[in-house]
Amino acid sequence: MLQKFNSLMDYIETHLTDDISEQDISKIVGISNYHFKRMFSYMAGMSLNAYIKNRRLSVANVELINGEKVTDIAYKYGYQSIEGFSRAFREWSGFLPSEVAKNKIQKSFPKFTFFIDIRGGISMEFKMEEKEKFNIVGVSKRVPIQFEGENNAILELAKSITEQQRNEMHQLADLYPHHVLNVSYDFDDGYLEEKGYLTHMIGFATTKENPFDDLEQISIDKSLWAIFPNQGPFPSTLQETTAKIYSEWLPSSDYQVSDIPGISFTKHEGSPENVYSEIWMPVKEKN
């Protein structure tokens, strides 16, 4: 996977003045565009779109110093106007293009190269488990995308569940963990910039079909799952484990993410500083 990441970095470098399509990206990395971008974000600390933008502006900086015209550079890198390019360049560098050209101010953003950095020798606990097709029955809501801290919209969704809905969900729950599951899917394109919305479902796993009008159902196809238990302060430990899965475990494993909603559950028992959670990631072996 790291070789494919670096192949994409090479491809981007030779196509900075072109439109780089999602089909191009998926073809090079060999996985869905969404899952690749999520991995990239955790590994690089920024979205792929931000990386491409920064590389273009870095090369544009060099060209300004070498005497190329602002107008030519703006259109060369896909900006519709000089004003749009000047605004983006100033946000990135702190200077207007004209100031850089005049005063030869250099700011760089190097090309990325990916490699595995083993830190501290800390291993991740996980197990592989194949699960037959099952359903999740519960309630869902479009909520803002949020990477850190507790998501108030999800808390509000949990509080909105009625006693009748709880009883109905418990009637159907016949699969491990016999506990409330959190399922996130249908992410907006702004996910990697922590913008937009996703659909979040709170429910229970079941082999049964939902007969209740006030509950919703999604079906989860038969799949292999990588299951990561974690324990510590909530929600930071859960979120840090997710980041490590995408930035450390996936790139060095023999698996890639399947196009199935990811699942987690958390047992809120006892101290909030020592909470047990599991992250279920649907995976398949790499080709």
- Please check the confidence at residue 27 and state whether its pLDDT lies above 60: yes
Which of 12-26, 91-105, 199-213, 268-282 has the largest mean confidence? 199-213
Write down the pLDDT at residue 121: 44
Write down the pLDDT at residue 243: 84
| Residue 215 to residues 27, 176, 187, Cα–Cα distance (Å) | 39, 20, 21
Classify domain 127-285 by CATH architecture: Alpha-Beta Barrel (3.20)
Read off the pLDDT of each residue in 52-62 and give the average, rounded to a whole number.
Answer: 93
pLDDT tens for residues 81-124?
Answer: 999 999 999 999 999 999 988 888 888 888 887 765 544 444 56
Write down the pLDDT at residue 212: 98
The domains of the chain are located at 2-103, 127-285
Write down the pLDDT at residue 276: 92
3-state DSSP assignment of residue 151: coil
- Please check the confidence at residue 34 and state whether its pLDDT lies above 80: no
3-state DSSP assignment of residue 222: coil
Helix, strand, coil share (%) of the chain residues, nearest 5: 40, 25, 35
Pairwise pLDDT comparison (199 vs 21), residue with the higher score: 199
Which residues touch 227 (CB under 8 Å, ≥6 apart)? 126, 127, 128, 129, 278, 279, 280, 281
Read off the pLDDT of each residue in 129-134 and give the average, rounded to a whole number.
Answer: 93
What does pLDDT average to over the chain?
87
**Token pair belonging to 1:** 């996977």
pLDDT tens for residues 65-80?
Answer: 999 999 999 999 999 9
CATH topology of domain 2-103: Arc Repressor Mutant, subunit A (1.10.10)
φ, ψ at 34 (rounded to 5°): -60, -50
pLDDT tens for residues 167-203?
Answer: 999 999 999 999 999 999 888 765 555 668 889 999 9
**Token pair belonging to 6:** 């670096």
Chain-centroid distance of CA 123 in Å reads 22
pLDDT tens for residues 226-274?
Answer: 999 999 998 889 988 988 888 778 877 888 888 889 899 999 887 888 9
Pairwise pLDDT comparison (270 vs 13), residue with the higher score: 13
In this structure, of 56-60, 145-149, 179-183, 265-269, the range with the lowest mean pLDDT score is: 145-149
Helix axes 48-65, 33-44, angle to 10 degrees: 60
Write down the pLDDT at residue 118: 44
Q: Which of 265, 28, 226, 2 is nearest to 114 (CA)?
A: 2
**CB burial string 26-52: b at 16+ within 10 A, e below:** eebbebbbbbbbbbbbbbbeebbbebe
Write down the pLDDT at residue 253: 80
Structural contact between residues 135 and 218, judged by C-beta atoms closer than 8 angstroms:
yes
- Do strands 275-285 and 262-267 pair parallel, antiparallel, or not at all (unpaired)? antiparallel
Distance of alpha carbon 137 from alpha carbon 167, whole angstroms: 12
Indicate the DSSP class of residue 18: S
Q: List residues bridging with 114 in a β-sheet.
A: none
Dmax (CA) for the chain in angstroms is 73
Distance of alpha carbon 14 from alpha carbon 209, whole angstroms: 52
Write down the pLDDT at residue 117: 52
Structural contact between residues 136 and 181, judged by C-beta atoms closer than 8 angstroms:
yes
Give me the residue label for tokens 């005497």: 67
Write down the pLDDT at residue 259: 86
Alpha helices in the chain (DSSP H): 2-14, 22-29, 33-44, 48-65, 70-76, 82-93, 97-103, 152-160, 163-172, 236-244, 250-252
